[in-house]
């Protein structure tokens, strides 16, 4: 009996991403009992995965209203309605959006159509969370949800004013049939095939399996829309199609002898089915067949099971290094033909001396990658790096189990994160786990080294899949620093911190695991418009504690120093009676403001400018004019300095140029022009 497994079986990208993020959040907040973790609906239709997340601290809620304020809420791949999102925001929740990119694209299409007043037809399952989220984008227009050809025929479609979209997991066959009916009613550019490409491929593979196989097992939950569609597709072409929700159901079917006389079994799985569940079914089938028939069966498990004897592909053997050329290192594996290892495998280990290994006839463990017979004999291709990988893979697994940090080098950038390499083992680090704040440029991290904690390992496949987090380590260090700080904090104590953020009202400064606030009025002795006029994010600054509250965990910090105050020691620096020079910087009706030093102005009252009475200071002064004056009053507490110009060198108005003779001459001229009375 042979077993054929669909290549696309198991977790889709959206579900796998959501589960990964949920596990990382649970680990990061493991010791944070004060903040609740919620899933807005099950993020995956799998009881085992959900139970594991619940055991790690997550609670499941069905409505946004059920979330408590300031909690962390993870949105599943299905997405939510705008109204639900607004409720979470209004409650101050931290929303972790794991909406599938394909679903998010549908939301944008529907929202745009609704804004243009277009009606919406959705092919999908009524009441499904994804469909409800999509419909929530079109509250002000007509929305019809259909799942069959008969339903679309009964619709009153407004030509040129209706769009057609689909649930991502809807049947491609039914969608095509519906499109054929509406193509004369809805413009081509208003029909959107939004079925996920993975879903389409999964359904095509399922149909192919059903046609080819004697028995088909569909592994997944009966509550999963895409799993049910796979079951329907397979059932339409193979009468012996069975839905496997759990191992007990599978055991029950096998006990009924459904595999007797069967030559080919097909296996597929829904998008919410972990690979472990698929592997469990495959392994059980293998064990069952071996125990029943007591003979070697011809089962093809692809990447899941490799049962290959020595000097077969993937066998691990020992050999002696005998020689080398420009391309290969040759190894005696006690066969008629020598095996060869690509020389490039040794490039990653600068300490390995090939010439010394040949001279010493060094024995190494290698893996058989391929064996090909030719007229010249066997060509045996070996790999040493694969064995080294397995050894280092174990080190990564041990680090995960023992929660031991490891150091990785960032070697690659992917869409949502980076790849860290640990001795040949790749570890995925999501962009949210690289540092505490937001990461905008992933490429900038390439080539850097990071200490990480391995947060997830998956050893079910032939190659290890691991995820890690540097943020978890930073969070742990931050908590330890915070505890130490709260134990020793006191008013007036100085700290060297760095600026984390700059809201309009001040600057938040990390002083060692805890953020304190420097109010905008504490940033400068002079008035500023915004905190960024003085500081920038990342600046290292010296601050001191003005006040703190252990219960609310709030700290008020001071930044400006007394010695930087323009009025510091002012009574000694500019005493009463001293003669000073300054520049007029502003004129008012009551006097002139004169700059003595940067950010230090003095007032000369209008009565202290001239020896005569002035209507206003501008009669004799102008902005930019340099003057000499006497200090007549200094009040540090009132932050005021008074000066007198007239006590040093009064500035009087310039007299008019018109003389008395000119006035009389004008009068005489007027008198001559007056006619006589005669």
Q: What is the DSSP string of 623-660?
A: TT-EEEEEEEEEETTTTEEEEESTTTS--PPPPPS--H
What pLDDT, in 10s, does the model give residues 108-138? 999 999 999 999 999 999 999 999 999 999 9
Task: Quote the pLDDT of residue 660.
Answer: 46
As a CATH number, domain 489-560 is: 2.40.50.140
Distances (CA, A) of 113 to 109, 161, 184, 417: 6, 9, 19, 33
Whether residue 573 has pLDDT greater than 70: yes
Helix axes 225-237, 197-212, angle to 10 degrees: 30
CA separation for the pair 345, 352 (Å, rounded):
11
CA 459 from chain centre, in angstroms, equals 26
Whether residue 239 has pLDDT greater than 50: yes
CA proximity to 543, closest of 529, 569, 523: 523
Burial class (CB in 10 A: 0-12, 13-18, 19+), 120: buried
Left, alpha or beta for 7 (phi > 0: left; psi -120 to 50: alpha)? alpha
Class of the domain covering 316-383:
mainly beta
Indicate the fold that domain 570-678 takes in CATH: OB fold (Dihydrolipoamide Acetyltransferase, E2P) (2.40.50)
DSSP conformational letter for 69: T
Return the residue matching tokens 């704040």. Answer: 437
CB 543 within 8 A of CB 557: yes
Helix, strand or coil, per DSSP, at residue 571: helix
* pLDDT (mean) for 226-233: 90
What pLDDT, in 10s, does the model give residues 506-532? 999 999 889 999 999 889 888 889 999
Cβ partners under 8 Å of residue 287, min gap 6: none
How many residues are there in the chain? 678
CB 3 within 8 A of CB 285: yes
Which two structure tokens, joined as six digits, stand for 463? Answer: 């190659």
Whether residue 203 has pLDDT greater than 90: no
Task: Quote the pLDDT of residue 288.
Answer: 59
CA separation for the pair 499, 418 (Å, rounded):
26
As a CATH number, domain 101-195 is: 3.40.1010.20
CA proximity to 322, closest of 338, 336, 345, 342: 338
Cβ partners under 8 Å of residue 154, min gap 6: none
Whether residue 499 has pLDDT greater than 80: yes
Mean pLDDT of the chain: 85
DSSP conformational letter for 325: -
CA 424 from chain centre, in angstroms, equals 26
Which two structure tokens, joined as six digits, stand for 84? Answer: 């639900």
For strand 626-635 and strand 640-644, is the pairing parallel, antiparallel, or unpaired? antiparallel
CA separation for the pair 192, 141 (Å, rounded):
18
* pLDDT (mean) for 390-409: 88
Express as a percent the part of the chain with pLDDT over 90: 43
> Phi and psi dihedrals of 213, rounded to 5?
-95, 155
User: Which sign does the torsion angle of CA 84, 89, 94, 95 carry?
Assistant: positive
Task: Quote the pLDDT of residue 336.
Answer: 64
Task: Quote the pLDDT of residue 349.
Answer: 64
| pLDDT confidence band for 301 (50 / 70 / 90) | very low
CA separation for the pair 604, 196 (Å, rounded):
77
Greater model confidence, 34 or 553: 553
* pLDDT (mean) for 618-640: 92
Greater model confidence, 293 or 152: 152
- All CATH 3.40.1010.20 domain ranges in the chain, comma separated: 1-100+198-305, 101-195
Class of the domain covering 403-474:
mainly beta
- All CATH 2.40.50.140 domain ranges in the chain, comma separated: 316-383, 403-474, 489-560, 570-678
- Catalytic positions, please? 130
Task: Quote the pLDDT of residue 6.
Answer: 85
What pLDDT, in 10s, does the model give residues 350-367? 568 899 999 888 998 888
Task: Quote the pLDDT of residue 392.
Answer: 83
DSSP conformational letter for 676: P
Q: In terms of DSSP H, where are the helices of 56-148?
A: 82-90, 101-115, 129-135
For strand 377-383 and strand 363-374, is the pairing parallel, antiparallel, or unpaired? antiparallel
Task: Quote the pLDDT of residue 617.
Answer: 94
User: Which sign does the torsion angle of CA 331, 337, 343, 345 carry?
Assistant: negative
Helix, strand or coil, per DSSP, at residue 337: coil
Which two structure tokens, joined as six digits, stand for 430? Answer: 């999501």
Whether residue 597 has pLDDT greater than 90: no
Give one DSSP letter per residue of 359-424, joined into a string: HTT-EEEEEEEEEEEETTEEEEEEESHHHHHHHHHHHHHHHHHHT--EEEEEEEEETTEEEEEETT
Task: Quote the pLDDT of residue 386.
Answer: 77
The region of weakest confidence among 43-52, 325-334, 411-420, 656-665 is 656-665
CB 75 within 8 A of CB 95: yes
Whether residue 267 has pLDDT greater than 50: yes
Cβ partners under 8 Å of residue 486, min gap 6: 514, 550
Task: Quote the pLDDT of residue 316.
Answer: 80
Task: Quote the pLDDT of residue 350.
Answer: 59
648 HSE (CA, 13 A, CB side):
15
What pLDDT, in 10s, does the model give residues 207-221? 999 999 999 999 988
| pLDDT confidence band for 391 (50 / 70 / 90) | confident
CA separation for the pair 556, 528 (Å, rounded):
19
Whether residue 36 has pLDDT greater than 60: yes
CB 135 within 8 A of CB 122: yes
CA proximity to 558, closest of 503, 509, 489, 504: 509
Whether residue 464 has pLDDT greater than 60: yes
Would you state the CATH architecture of domain 1-100+198-305? 3-Layer(aba) Sandwich (3.40)
* pLDDT (mean) for 600-628: 93
CA separation for the pair 408, 427 (Å, rounded):
8
Task: Quote the pLDDT of residue 654.
Answer: 82
Express as a percent the part of the chain with pLDDT over 70: 90
Greater model confidence, 259 or 643: 643
Which two structure tokens, joined as six digits, stand for 182? Answer: 């509406």
CA separation for the pair 496, 3 (Å, rounded):
65
């Amino acid at each position: 009996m042979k077993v054929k497994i669909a290549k696309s079986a198991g977790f889709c990208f959206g579900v796998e991403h959501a589960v990964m993020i949920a596990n990382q959040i649970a680990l990061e907040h493991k010791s944070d009992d004060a903040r609740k973790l919620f899933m807005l609906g099950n993020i995956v239709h799998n009881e085992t995965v959900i139970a594991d997340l619940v055991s790690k601290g997550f609670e499941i809620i069905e409505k946004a209203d059920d979330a408590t304020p300031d909690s962390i809420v993870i949105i599943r791949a299905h997405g939510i309605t705008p109204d639900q999102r607004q409720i979470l925001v209004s409650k101050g929740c931290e929303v972790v959006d794991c909406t599938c990119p394909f679903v998010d694209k549908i939301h944008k299409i529907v929202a745009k159509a609704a804004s243009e007043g277009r009606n919406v037809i959705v092919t999908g399952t009524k009441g499904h969370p994804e469909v409800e989220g999509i419909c929530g984008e079109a509250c002000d227009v007509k929305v019809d949800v259909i799942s069959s050809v008969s339903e679309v025929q009964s619709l009153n479609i407004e030509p040129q004013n209706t769009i057609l979209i689909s649930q991502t997991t809807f049947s491609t066959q039914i969608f095509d049939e519906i499109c054929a009916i509406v193509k004369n009613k809805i413009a081509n550019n208003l029909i959107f095939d939004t079925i996920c490409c993975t879903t389409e491929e999964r359904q095509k593979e399922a149909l192919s399996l059903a046609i080819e196989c004697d028995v088909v097992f569909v592994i997944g939950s009966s509550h999963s829309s895409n799993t049910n569609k796979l079951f329907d597709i397979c059932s339409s072409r193979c009468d012996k199609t069975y839905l496997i929700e759990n191992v007990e159901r599978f055991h029950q079917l096998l006990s009924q002898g459904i595999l007797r006389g069967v030559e080919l079994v097909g296996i597929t799985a829904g998008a919410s089915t972990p690979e472990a569940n698929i592997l469990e079914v495959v392994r059980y089938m293998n064990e069952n067949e071996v125990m029943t028939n007591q003979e070697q069966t011809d089962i093809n498990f692809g990447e899941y099971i490799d049962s290959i004897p020595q000097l077969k592909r993937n066998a691990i053997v020992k050999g002696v290094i005998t020689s080398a050329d420009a391309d290969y290192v040759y190894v005696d594996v006690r066969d008629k033909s020598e095996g060869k290892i690509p020389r490039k495998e040794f490039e990653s280990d600068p300490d390995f001396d090939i010439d010394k290994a040949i001279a010493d006839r060094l024995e190494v463990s290698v893996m058989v990658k391929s064996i090909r017979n030719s007229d010249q004999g066997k060509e045996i291709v070996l790999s040493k790096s694969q064995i080294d990988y397995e050894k280092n893979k174990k080190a990564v697994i041990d680090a995960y189990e023992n929660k031991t940090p490891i150091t990785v080098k960032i070697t690659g950038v992917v869409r949502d994160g980076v790849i860290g390499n640990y001795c040949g083992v790749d570890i995925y680090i999501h962009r949210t786990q690289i540092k505490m704040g937001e990461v905008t440029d992933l490429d900038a991290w390439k080539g850097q080294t990071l200490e990480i904690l391995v947060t997830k390992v998956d050893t079910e496949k032939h190659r290890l899949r691991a995820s890690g987090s540097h943020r978890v380590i930073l969070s742990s260090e931050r908590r330890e620093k915070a505890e130490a700080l709260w134990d020793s904090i006191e008013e007036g104590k100085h700290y060297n911190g760095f600026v984390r953020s700059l809201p309009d009202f001040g600057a938040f400064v990390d002083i060692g695991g805890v953020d304190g606030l420097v109010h905008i009025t504490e940033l400068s002795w002079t008035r500023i418009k915004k905190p960024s006029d003085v500081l920038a994010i990342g600046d290292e600054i010296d601050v001191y504690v003005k006040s703190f509250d252990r219960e609310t965990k709030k700290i008020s910090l001071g930044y400006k120093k007394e010695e930087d105050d323009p009025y510091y020691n002012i009574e000694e620096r500019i005493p009463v009676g001293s003669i000073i020079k300054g520049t007029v910087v502003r004129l008012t009706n009551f006097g002139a403001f004169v700059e003595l030093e940067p950010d230090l102005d003095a007032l000369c009252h209008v009565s202290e400018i001239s020896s005569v009475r002035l209507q206003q200071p501008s009669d004799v002064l102008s902005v930019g004019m340099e003057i000499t004056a006497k200090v007549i009053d200094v009040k540090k507490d009132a932050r005021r300095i008074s000066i007198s110009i007239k006590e040093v060198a009064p500035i009087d108005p310039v007299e008019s140029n018109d003389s008395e003779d000119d006035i009389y001459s004008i009068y005489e001229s007027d008198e001559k022009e007056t006619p006589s009375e005669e």
